[in-house]
Amino acid sequence: MKRFRANMSNKQRHVCQRFGAGYMPPEANQKVGISLASLEHLPLHAVRLSPGNGTSGWYIYGGEYSPDADFYQPLHVAHLTERCPNIVPYLALPPGWRVLLAPDYEDVWFDGKLLKERHR
Q: Each residue's pLDDT tens digit in the chain (120 positions)?
A: 444 454 568 899 999 999 999 999 999 999 999 999 999 999 999 999 999 999 999 999 999 999 999 999 999 999 999 999 999 999 999 999 999 999 999 999 999 999 886 544
The predicted pLDDT at position 111 comes to 96
Please tell me whether the overall predicted TM-score, pTM, comes out greater than 0.95 for this model. Answer: no
Task: Give Cα 64 to chain centroid, integer Å.
Answer: 16
Q: What is the DSSP pairing of strand 55-62 with strand 31-34? A: parallel
Q: What is the pLDDT of residue 7?
A: 52
Of the candidates 54, 59, 51, 8, the one whose C-alpha atom is nearest the C-alpha of residue 31 is 54
φ, ψ (nearest 5 deg) of residue 89: -65, -15
Q: How many helices (H) and strands (E) does the chain have?
A: 2, 6
Please, are residues 87 and 38 in contact by the beta-carbon 8 Å criterion? Answer: no
CB environment 84-116: b (16+ within 10 A), e (fewer) = bebbbbbbbbbbbbbbebeeeeeebeeeeebee
What's the pLDDT score for residue 117?
Answer: 60
pLDDT given for residue 120 in this prediction: 45
44-48 vs 73-76, strand pairing mode: unpaired
